[in-house]
Amino acid sequence: MRNGAQPVLEVTNLKTIFRTRGGEVHAVNSVSFDLKPGELLGVVGESGSGKSVTMMSLIGLLPSPPAEVRDGRVMFDGLDLLKCTPAQLRAVRGPGVGFIFQDPMTSLNPVFTVGYQLREPLMKHMGMTKAQAQVRAQELLELVGIPDAGRRLKDFPHQFSGGMRQRVMIAIALACDPKVLIADEPTTALDVTIQAQILELVKDLRQKLGMAIVWITHDLGVIAGIADRIMVMYGGQIVEHGTVKEVFAKPRHPYTRALLQTVPSVRGERAEKLNVIEGQPPILRAAPTACPFRDRCTLRFAACDAANPARYAVGPGHDAACFWDFDTDAPRREVTETADV
């Protein structure tokens, strides 16, 4: 049913670089994906793979300089966000796209009350008066499960625990009923028990509000629990993408496979020895001309050094950027063919 719907967010060929003293850093390379209404898209990948930069590029939240969005198209609501005026962009932030950031400790302004920070977007985008915003802010806090919300609106962020601050962040992101919610590692800094609370909350909210969500995380377990589709990033690119069930059952990129194998489990079999992805993530000094994973890949062969693999379809709604065909356990035919030419 979801497949048929028109995507709310469509990203094509996004490229973002940073200009640093040491030269350019190609943090995001030709990233394309889409997001359907009411869907939860999980994004995983190791640290530095470009997850955050990708999402922040979408609505121009990267500091510029040093960041620069080189190329691409981000269609949201019939609008190309990359070509918007700052004012148009501001109108999208909040009501269009809500953002939850990774670190709940620093993402709230320490000198304003939670109520103030919640009212701000309400008054700006929803045209509410202060009194109306106050009422709505209280509702929002209640929605994210903060007890005694009316009183706590007067509190400052430091008076909240980490989990509660993250809920406040969620409430702020939800304030203007965004069509898309981008959650950038919202539970990484939290304890498992608190993380479980937040995950429950999000599941709950999704049912109630039906927004589309992008959920960034390191933790494959989290994704497995809540996402519909998953996108694996590596070296600034999407290396695999598909429905959660597909990808977890049949990972079609060596990185995804390795990732799934490195993680020990609390329940299943206890491995005697953990699998390791040897080596370091690539340094993104230039636009990639070869597979970014090749240095750490156990299946590396000549083609990997020659070109950067495209995203090959490997199943229904499932694609992977790898020259290796896991079904046949041999290099892809496309590669061998082009190699002949």
Partner 1 sequence: MTDTTAAKIRPPRNQWWDVWDQFKTHKGALVGLTIFVAILGLILIGPLVWHIDPTYVDFRARNKGFSLAHPLGTDQLGRDLLARMMAGGKVSISVGLTAMSLSIFLGATIGVLAGYFKRLDGHLMRLTDLFLALPLLPLLLLMVTLFRDPLSKGFGPEGGIFLLIVTAIGATSWMQTARIVRGEVLALKEREFVLAARSIGTPAHRLVLRHILPNVMSPIMVSATLGIASAIITESALSFLGLGFPPDFPTWGRLLFDAVDQIQLYPWRVILPGIAISLTVLSVNYIGDGLRDALDPRIRGR
Partner 2 sequence: MFDGGKRPLVEVEGLKMYFPITAGLFRAKVGDVKAVDDVTFTIFEGETLGLVGESGCGKSTCGRAVLRLYEPTAGSVLIDGEDVLAAPPGELRALRPKMQMVFQDPQASLNPRMTVAGIIGEPLDEHTTLNRAQKLARIYELMDKVGLNRDFANRYPHEFSGGQRQRIGIARALALNPRFIVCDEPIAALDVSIQAQVVNLLEELQDSLGLTYLFISHDLSMVRHIADRVAVMYLGRIVELASRDALYEAPLHPYTQALLSAVPEPDPNAETTRQRIILKGDVPSPANPPKGCNFCTRCPKVMDLCRRVEPEYREVAPGHFTACHLHNQTAGQTAA
Partner 3 sequence: MFQYTMRRLLIAIPTLLIISLVIFLLLEAAPGDPLGEVPLTVPPEVKAKMRSALGLDAAWYVRYFLWLKQMFWIEPMHLIDTLFGTHLADDMQRVISFQSRQPVMDIIAQRMPQTLIVVGSAYVIGVLIAVPIGILSAYRQYSWFDNLGTFISMIGFSVPTFFTGVVLIVIFAVKLQWFPMVYDTTLQVTDWDSFTKQLRQMVMPVTVLSLFNAAQISRFMRSSMLDNLGQDYVRTARAKGLTERVVVLIHVLRNSLIPVVTVIALGVPSIFGGAIITEQVFKVNGLGQQLILAIHANDLPMVMTLTFIFAVLIVLFNLIADLLYGILDPRIRYD
Ligand X SMILES: Nc1ncnc2c1ncn2[C@@H]1O[C@H](COP(=O)(O)OP(=O)(O)OP(=O)(O)O)[C@@H](O)[C@H]1O
CB of 267 to partner 2, least distance (A): 6
Binding status of residue 169 toward partner 3 by CB under 8 A: yes
Binding pattern to partner 2, positions 209-248, x when CB under 8 A? Answer: ---------xxxxxxxx------------------xx--x
Tokens of 132: 């109306």
Binding status of residue 256 toward ligand X by CB under 6 A: no
CB of 231 to ligand X, least distance (A): 12
Binding status of residue 120 toward partner 3 by CB under 8 A: yes
Distance (Å, whole) CA 141 – CA 153: 8
Distance (Å, whole) CA 297 – CA 322: 11
Binding status of residue 22 toward partner 1 by CB under 8 A: yes
| One-letter amino acid for residue 210 of the chain | G
DSSP H or E stretch at residue 51: helix 51-58
Binding status of residue 187 toward Mg ion by CB under 5 A: no
Binding pattern to Mg ion, positions 34-73, x when CB under 5 A? Answer: ------------------x---------------------
**Complex with partner 1: residue 251 or 292, whichever CB lies closer:** 292
Residue 51 φ then ψ, to 5°: -65, -55
* Cα→Cα distances 142→122, 168, 201, Å: 16, 10, 11
Binding pattern to partner 2, positions 147-176, x when CB under 8 A? Answer: --------------xxxx------------
Strands (E), the chain: 9-20, 23-35, 40-44, 67-76, 79-80, 97-100, 180-184, 212-217, 229-234, 237-243, 312-315, 318-320, 324-325, 330-331
Count, residues near partner 2 per rule CB under 8 A: 45
CB of 150 to ligand X, least distance (A): 29
Tokens of 218: 């390191």
DSSP H or E stretch at residue 193: helix 192-209
Planar angle of CA 292, 305, 330, nearest 5 degrees: 95
* Cα→Cα distances 72→11, 24, 27, 29, 212, Å: 7, 18, 14, 10, 21
Count, residues near partner 3 per rule CB under 8 A: 32
Q: What is the largest CA-CA distance in the chain?
A: 72
Tell me which of 29, 49, 256, 308 binds ligand X, using CB under 6 A: 49
**Complex with partner 3: residue 64 or 262, whichever CB lies closer:** 64
Binding status of residue 295 toward partner 1 by CB under 8 A: yes
**Complex with partner 1: residue 24 or 228, whichever CB lies closer:** 24
- CB-count exposure of residue 130 (10 Å: 0-12, 13-18, 19+): exposed
* Cα→Cα distances 150→147, 198, 250, 251, Å: 9, 21, 48, 47
Count, residues near ligand X per rule CB under 6 A: 15
- 130-143 and 114-125 helices cross at what angle (nearest 10)? 120
Binding status of residue 103 toward partner 3 by CB under 8 A: yes
Q: Which residues between 189 and 218 bind partner 3 (CB under 8 A)?
A: none
Binding status of residue 283 toward partner 2 by CB under 8 A: no
- CB-count exposure of residue 122 (10 Å: 0-12, 13-18, 19+): buried
CB of 256 to ligand X, least distance (A): 15
Instruction: Enumerate binding residues for partner 2 (CB under 8 A).
Output: 46-47, 161-164, 191-197, 199-200, 218-225, 244-245, 248, 258-260, 262-268, 270-271, 273-278, 280
Instruction: Enumerate binding residues for partner 1 (CB under 8 A).
Output: 20-22, 278-280, 295
Instruction: Enumerate binding residues for partner 3 (CB under 8 A).
Output: 56, 59, 61, 86, 90-95, 98-99, 101, 103, 106-112, 120-121, 124-125, 156, 158, 169, 172-173, 175-176
Instruction: Enumerate binding residues for ligand X (CB under 6 A).
Output: 18, 20, 25, 27, 45, 47-53, 66, 218, 284
